[in-house]
Amino acid sequence: MTHDVKNKIVSVERFIPTAPGLIFEILADPRQHSKIDGSGSVKAAQVSAPQRLSLGAKFAMDMKIGVPYKMTNTVVEFDENRRIAWQHFGGHIWRYILEPVDRGTKVTEQFDYNGSKSILILKLRGSMKSNEKAMMKTLENIEKHFAA
């Protein structure tokens, strides 16, 4: 776990004994996101979401933090089986980096708030610390998904 204040990135990583391509398929399918989300805020993909994400794809999610709301994201990074990231109107980016290693994958999840339009609000809410905990849980959930 790292929180690079200078570069405004919160990063967690975990070894998952699964091939990168299999993990990428879950990340590239917005309908799977609620199954792996460690924050508990991702509820479901909107029916308009594409079956599989690609660079520039837009997808909306039903969310809930206290009250229900919708969040539309745009895929801003996409490298098949290696990297995927999306950004919403707030400007921050959720990124997954997959690195093949012996008998599995090193998965790094990042909350990149370099482009955030509301850094002060993020800091006041303690988002960096809470996102770090949620990301650790997300990676744990991905590993459990493949252990079943």
pLDDT in tens, 6-46: 678 889 999 999 999 999 999 999 999 999 999 988 999 99
- Give the containing element (helix H, strand E) for 139: helix 127-147
For residue 87, list its beta bridge partners.
74, 93
Exposure b/e, 86-95, CB count within 10 A at least 16 = b: bbbeeebbbb
The reported pLDDT for the residue numbered 34 is 94
Question: Comparing C-alpha atoms, which of 143, 85, 82 is closest to residue 114?
Answer: 85
Which CATH superfamily is 2-143 part of? START domain (3.30.530.20)
**Residue 14 is encoded by which pair of tokens?**
């975990």
Given pLDDT bands bounded at 50, 70 and 90, which one contains residue 117? confident
Q: Which residues contact 30 (CB under 8 A, 6 or more apart)?
A: 45, 49, 50, 53, 59, 61
Residue 128 is predicted with a pLDDT of: 65
pLDDT, the chain, mean: 90
Residue 72 three-state SS: strand
C-alpha 55, offset from chain centre? 15
Q: Looking at 28-118, list the stretches that DSSP marks H as alpha helix, in order from N- to C-terminal side.
A: 33-36
